[in-house]
Structure 1
Amino acid sequence: MKSSVFLILICFLLGLWQEPEIASARQLDIFKSAKPFSIHFLFSGRIPNIESLESKEIEPLIKQFKEEEGRLKTLEEKNLLFLALGYLHLIKRDEEEALNYLENKIRGNFILQDLRMVFESQARIELAKKASTAGDYPAAIQNLEESLRIYLDLHRAYPSSPYQVDLPRLMAEIEKQLGDLYFETKQFHMAWQFYRKALMREFVGNEAHQMVVHLALAKTYDSEHNLEEALDIYTFLLDSYDDPQVESSARAFLDTRRQDMINRKLPVQALDLRLNRTESRSGSESKQTARKSPNNGYQHPHVQDFYAAVKQNDFPAIFDTAFRILSEYPGLFEARGVISKTNQMVFDFIQKGNEWEETIDRILHLYPPMELRRLAFLLWKNQYSTQAARVYSVILEEHPTEVESSHMALYFLGRIHEDLGNNDQALKFYQQLLQKYDYGDYVQSAEFKIPWVHRLQGKLEQAEQEFQAFLDRFNPRAPEYESNLLSAYNFVAASYYWLAQTQSALNKTDKSKITLRKLVELHPLNFYAMLARVELNMDALSFVKEELPSPESQARQPGLGEMGRKRLKRAEKLISIGFLEKGLNELAQVTHGSESNAFLHHLIELFLKAGGYEKTIALSWALSLRNNHDSLPSRLIETLFPEAFMEKARLEAEPYRLDPYLVLALMRQESAFNPNAHSSANAMGLMQLIPQTAKRVAHSLGEPTPESEDLKNPSLNIKLGVKYLNHLLEMFGDNPVYALAAYNAGPNRVKKWREIRSSLGDIEFIESIPFNETRNYVKKVLRNFVIYKNLYEKKNFTSWEQILAIRMSPATSDN
């Protein structure tokens, strides 16, 4: 004890003793996640997506990366380069070289260690496949066991890794393969162990995996003459799966081992019973229709009669039985689907060209208001306006106190009469709506429609007053403006424009210009603001200030949290070496810090570099909105309207002399440049093609018939989408207004709309489009087109006719 104290005293006097240091935050954060990482350490310009390379692109990129190795100075940069090289050699099928980089060259604390382990495990699996094919089972087993060990280490060491979700499936697949290899080498006990482990792994969609492993396990028991266990598994499989592979395997087992099992007094009859039941079920498939009850499972005779009439398309019987069920048995449990089926049959009846029948009216008077609304809207949406009006009238007659339904009925009756040219009757319904209701989905629409119809009637003074009154109500400085803005926004901008047009028609030129300037000031990115700038001879991008510096970028923001900082650092590093999708997935997990404009801009630039255009546009819009889209730096407008997929758009548009910026304008609106976009209407990809439309266009081009998933391929989607757009332009005389409306709502609808509105000019036609979605779609695509042309070609339109000129001159398209 004394000697220890004496030694410490000597060290202190000699200056050798130092107080132990408290570890700083910088030392604890081994990944330095608080410090941003430059995504341009390898690529100064566009970063290639190394996960979507063509085979011919792999070797040149490997060569480029190897040349960069000597230039890199930090361990951080070299580790990233080696990770990328390991991956490139892996997809080149050179697994030995891939492992050289992944196992031997990456050193130190590496924030993407989990991804390195995934690639290393994949390389081992590929080596195992090659060894197995060559008959070298020991080498195959060794590689698979090493691959499994890596995944187990990953599972234990990196609980927050995004690859955790796939690990149970990946490990189960390896364990199944190991079981197969041990079975092949007759090491049945080892095979049994790995099959049992594979069965213990739980993951989504593992039913097919479980079946295959159970079959392998049964075969293993059989090989070891454990017939009781094999019998049990086959019995379990027949109870659990209706699958021909299960049936054939169980039957083969029974045929081969029947006598042995009988000798051991095993319950063979259990398997016999199940196989006989399966055979009986299989043999009766062709008789399924005959075996069905003639009443389709319904017990009530009137319900039976109704569905029998539906099956025969016997419309009189359908309507008669529907009336009887709804009038006499409205609470019948079996009658729950009668109304929705009747709605469909009414629509089919009208669609076949039949005249409306009195029996339909009798049924409608028994309908609840919600079902009446559904039927009326179905008819109206498909251009059966007169029939829709009858249904909406029933709502007003039978359910005048049902506010939501009556409110909707009044508006659509106004719309229908407006479309039919009965403007006085249309005004009557719009005015009646406003007299009865001061709130609801269609109040603002009706308030806009009244001056709109008066303007079409030539009652300009009245229209001017009513447009102005509408705008006064939605004064942006009024306290209630924000709460009303969401439903009124589109009509506010439209009201400013049409008020200006009305004032111009009344020779109030100065007032008209003042109104247009107000429109530009309050709604700088609106379609009508673009038109106002054309009329005022203003620059289309007057809200963009070239002299403003690019938004300040701040790569870190207080409040990101430990995991937020780590995910951001991972994203930066993944993007820097071309793992763009993986980088986007990490960025999507960064949920804090967006209140800072500078940090938001950093995220925007990261998403843009990674090709996450949808998020780029959304964040840019949020940042722009904070300044009411006014006085924006040019860099921000470029991220709002990126030149995504421009090379492909130009390549496909050139043969048709179509302006590629119109293609970009459409893609931006359709999918926000998300190749994987999939709408509720089953539209797919960048240009949101319906698979059936895509097949027709592909056939016209002599292309193979695409599957739905093929439409997520940007090159194919743009090729087919541009062809279809050109077809619609040709159909509608190269007028993009009608072609774009047809792209969204279908050409047949647009033809009918044109017939109804033949007296209207292009811009009036846009405002009169019945569908809100289509009306706003046409406006936004044309708005996008004007901005793209001005932003990237410095094209300043001076007339509406120039905007419509979407064909390139031969000289221009050749350049």
Structure 2
Amino acid sequence: MRSRPESTEALFWLGRSAGRAGNAEKFAEYLTLVADAKPRTRRSEEALYLLAQDAADNAEIARSRAYLARLLRDYPKGVWTDVALWLQGWLAYKKKEYPAAVASWGRLVADEPGSRWRVPALYWRGRALEATRQLSEAAKAYRTLLDTSPNQYYYRLRATERLALLTKKAVPNPPSPVAHPLQAGGANGIHARKARALRSLGLTDDAAEEWSEHVRSRPDERAGLAEACGAFLDLGRYDKAMWVGSRILRPLFVQEGGQAPIPGFWQCTYPLGHIDSVRRHAGERSIDPHLVLALIREESAFAPQAFSRAGARGLMQLMPHTADLTSREHRLPPVPPSSLETPEVNIRIGVHHLADLLRDFGENLSLTLASYNAGRQPVQRWLQRYGFADEVEFVEDIPYTETRNYVKRVLGSYERYSSLYGKPAAAGGQPAGGGRMQAEKKRSGE
């Protein structure tokens, strides 16, 4: 079929719209026309990948693999080549075709060094090599991941676990990040001077705004960034501190090979926001406070007035209906939706909700976090479909992209908080989640 580029674009979006509306027949019809279009357009390759992913989601593995093979043949250096190689490897791994998985992921690692799929490919290539008893090569894959991916905390955690099992000894952790004191006086410029003056007058909101303007106007002044981070933490504006850490400092951290770009980088990027409330309520339910902090960090970036499109509110992004049910179950005072923007209220209800999910899912963090994000019923469906013989494999199988990435982000942040600030013991015994790794090893017989 020969078609004009604009008609191919229209067909592509008709197909995407049909898919979102649940019309699988029209989705496949329109995207097949796009994939077959002559001449090819930038949407042809994407259509092939979407058809492959849809087939995989519907357990039509042979059809998915056919689409992927065609994509990789016709677009060997395309925009979607890396994710196609990832999915090709994953489908082979799930079929226990480990040499094929090793080959797909090996090509991805070699040919796509800048791809975001490189790190998961390194980890799962190691797992596939283990399955074929190529243990030294598997260990090499895990070490490559640890040596080259300082910012990928979830996969670093998983690779460290596998290396420890392979070598029968604990893998030395890199030195824990040092919590340097944040020094005042490093910033220059009118906004910094105004911010200090406003802070001395007790005008904290105005001071925070001036520090924000300083960061925007002088993003390359590292001493100023350090002082701004310290000021935001002192003002209780943990969301602003994270904004500096994540948007400005983290790219420098990656660029400089995992070296902290300013003395207070870690406190700024992983703040102990609302720590008194977190410790008190986490202690009441025997939950590790660092787990709560990690969840808050990924849910709202410590913004008390965060409001999602779905209606979730506050630090722990609680839906008003969930907050109401939780407060009733635990005989807490009624919770008007607007009160969820109050940190103390949100943390109290959110910790109870998190603890209830931990109880319902046997203290397993991956299942608990997936349920926190997607709800109990979807997680129960996934357990029935995929089983739970391997926790890490289950996480990769989560069909909701948002939930899959959410679980990884929270677990990665949890590892960072524990590494940075130590592993506290909550009141009432071992914090929930503290035995996750041991329980996982026991289940798998390792």
Asked if Structure 1 and Structure 2 have the same fold, meaning a TM-score greater than 0.5 normalized by the shorter chain, the answer is: yes
CA contact (8 A) 1:393 1:409 kept: no
1:466 to 92, 95, 104: 104
Mapping 1:630-709, distance limit 5 Å: 630-632=258-260, 635-709=264-338
Sort the Cα spacing of 1:556 and 1:730 in 2 relative to 1 into closer, same or farther, 3 A: closer
Mapping 1:240-389, distance limit 5 Å: 369-379=12-22, 388=24
> Which SS does the other structure have where 1:783 is aligned?
helix
1:394 to 29, 32, 48: 29
TM-score by length of 1: 0.46
Sort the Cα spacing of 1:716 and 1:571 in 2 relative to 1 into closer, same or farther, 3 A: same
Question: Is residue 533 of structure 1 aligned with residue 160 of structure 2?
Answer: yes
Whole-angstrom distance in 1 between the partners of 2:228 and 2:408: 29
What is the CA-CA distance between 1:507 and the residue it aligns to?
2.3
Whole-angstrom distance in 1 between the partners of 2:120 and 2:231: 36
1:585 to 209, 217, 223: 209
1:754 to 371, 383, 386: 383
Question: Is residue 790 of structure 1 aligned with residue 419 of structure 2?
Answer: yes
CA contact (8 A) 1:544 1:637 kept: no
CA offset digits 1:477-526 (Å, max 9, x no partner): xxxx4xxxxxx31x111011111112222222222222212211221131
What is the CA-CA distance between 1:408 and the residue it aligns to?
4.9
In structure 1, what is the equivalent of residue 84 of structure 2? 446
Q: Which letter does structure 1 place at the counterpart of 2:217?
A: H
Structure 1: runs of 5 or more not aligned: 1-366, 380-386, 476-480, 482-487, 807-815
Whole-angstrom distance in 2 between the partners of 1:742 and 1:442: 30
Q: Which letter does structure 1 place at the counterpart of 2:95?
A: Q
What is the CA-CA distance between 1:450 and the residue it aligns to?
0.5
Count matched residues. Answer: 407
TM-score by length of 2: 0.81
Q: Percent identity?
A: 26
What is the CA-CA distance between 1:582 and the residue it aligns to?
2.6
CA contact (8 A) 1:545 1:631 kept: no
Q: Which letter does structure 2 place at the counterpart of 1:538?
A: V
CA contact (8 A) 1:543 1:631 kept: no
> Which SS does the other structure have where 1:588 is aligned?
helix
> Which SS does the other structure have where 1:688 is aligned?
coil
1:777 to 394, 406, 410: 406
Whole-angstrom distance in 2 between the partners of 1:412 and 1:745: 23
Whole-angstrom distance in 1 between the partners of 2:87 and 2:62: 12
What is the CA-CA distance between 1:404 and the residue it aligns to?
6.5
Mapping 1:35-54, distance limit 5 Å: none
Whole-angstrom distance in 2 between the partners of 1:669 and 1:370: 31
CA contact (8 A) 2:311 2:319 kept: yes
Sort the Cα spacing of 1:672 and 1:712 in 2 relative to 1 into closer, same or farther, 3 A: same
Structure 2: runs of 5 or more not aligned: 1-9, 164-169, 425-432, 440-446
Q: Which letter does structure 2 place at the counterpart of 1:684?
A: R
Whole-angstrom distance in 2 between the partners of 1:549 and 1:730: 37
CA contact (8 A) 1:373 1:405 kept: no
Sort the Cα spacing of 1:576 and 1:778 in 2 relative to 1 into closer, same or farther, 3 A: farther
CA contact (8 A) 1:676 1:684 kept: yes
Whole-angstrom distance in 2 between the partners of 1:551 and 1:626: 18
CA contact (8 A) 1:580 1:611 kept: no
CA contact (8 A) 2:195 2:208 kept: yes
What is the CA-CA distance between 1:740 and the residue it aligns to?
0.8
In structure 2, what is the equivalent of residue 494 of structure 1? 120
CA offset digits 1:52-103 (Å, max 9, x no partner): xxxxxxxxxxxxxxxxxxxxxxxxxxxxxxxxxxxxxxxxxxxxxxxxxxxx
CA contact (8 A) 1:685 1:714 kept: yes
Mapping 1:10-89, distance limit 5 Å: none
What is the CA-CA distance between 1:666 and the residue it aligns to?
0.3
What is the CA-CA distance between 1:689 and the residue it aligns to?
1.2
Where relative contact order (Cα < 8 A, 6+ residues apart) is larger, the structure is 2
CA contact (8 A) 2:51 2:64 kept: yes
What is the CA-CA distance between 1:549 and the residue it aligns to?
6.7
CA offset digits 1:524-543 (Å, max 9, x no partner): 13110122233443355x16
CA contact (8 A) 2:176 2:420 kept: no
What is the CA-CA distance between 1:580 and the residue it aligns to?
2.7
CA contact (8 A) 1:736 1:804 kept: no
Sort the Cα spacing of 1:439 and 1:374 in 2 relative to 1 into closer, same or farther, 3 A: farther
In structure 2, what is the equivalent of residue 58 of structure 1? none
Q: Which letter does structure 1 place at the counterpart of 2:66?
A: K
CA contact (8 A) 1:494 1:528 kept: yes
CA contact (8 A) 1:671 1:685 kept: yes
Whole-angstrom distance in 1 between the partners of 2:181 and 2:366: 35
**What is the RMSD of the two structures over their aligned residues, measured on CA atoms?**
3.0
In structure 2, what is the equivalent of residue 504 of structure 1? 130
> Which SS does the other structure have where 1:626 is aligned?
helix
In structure 2, what is the equivalent of residue 516 of structure 1? 142
Sort the Cα spacing of 1:801 and 1:445 in 2 relative to 1 into closer, same or farther, 3 A: farther
Greater radius of gyration (CA): 1
Whole-angstrom distance in 1 between the partners of 2:313 and 2:176: 33
Whole-angstrom distance in 2 between the partners of 1:440 and 1:760: 35
